[in-house]
């Protein structure tokens, strides 16, 4: 099965990273901590590496998590740009280069969620994400 990167998982990761807590991220997302944990584990399987050190009282991003965070922020920013470009494109405006690049590698899942397929992992490899433990 082809690994799929869900943008909601990236948003969850960014919140957990910034708040340094799965439970605070869950509160912010109006969900339960186990859902945040599941999303982070799915991202770790996608990345092939742990992104956080689990501590007795919270989490701490490791070096992989730090790199993943920088790229996740960029991807989410690019997606926001994509959405704007698509809306403008529908109104006759030209989308930006970054939005066009992302539009080519993203699709909408049957659940209505933007997803990113494994063939787009080149983005992480091209931008230096370390897959080592």
Pairing of strands 52-55, 58-61: antiparallel
Counting residues of the chain whose pLDDT is more than 90, the rounded percentage is 53
Cα distance from N-terminal residue to C-terminal residue, the chain: 23
Task: Collect all residues with Cβ–Cβ distance below 8 Å to 102 and sequence separation of at least 6.
Answer: 75, 78, 79, 81, 82
Q: Domains of the chain: which residue ranges? A: 4-126
Instruction: Convert the pLDDT of each residue in 65-76 to its tens digit.
Output: 999 999 999 999
The fold of the 4-126 domain, in CATH, is Arc Repressor Mutant, subunit A (1.10.10)
Do 7 and 74 touch, CB atoms closer than 8 A? Answer: no
pLDDT digits (tens, 9 = 90+) for 2-48: 678 899 999 999 999 999 999 999 999 999 999 999 999 999 999 99
77-100: per-residue pLDDT in tens?
Answer: 999 998 888 888 877 655 455 444
What's the pLDDT at 34?
A: 96
Query: CA-to-CA distance for 120 and 117, rounded, in angstroms?
Result: 6
Q: What angle do CA 107, 108, 113 make, to 5 degrees?
A: 125
């Amino acid at each position: 099965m082809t690994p799929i990167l869900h943008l909601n998982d990236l948003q969850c990761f960014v919140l957990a990273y910034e708040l340094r807590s799965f439970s605070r991220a869950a509160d912010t997302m109006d969900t339960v901590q186990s859902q945040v944990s599941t999303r982070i584990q799915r991202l770790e399987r996608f990345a092939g590496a742990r992104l956080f050190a689990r501590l007795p009282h919270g989490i701490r991003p490791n070096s992989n998590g730090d790199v993943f965070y920088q790229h996740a922020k960029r991807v989410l920013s690019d997606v926001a740009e994509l959405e704007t470009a698509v809306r403008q494109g529908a109104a006759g405006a030209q989308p930006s280069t970054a939005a066009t690049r992302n539009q080519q590698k993203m699709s909408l899942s049957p659940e209505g969620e933007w997803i990113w397929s494994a063939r787009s992992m080149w983005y992480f490899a091209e931008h230096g994400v370390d897959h080592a433990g």
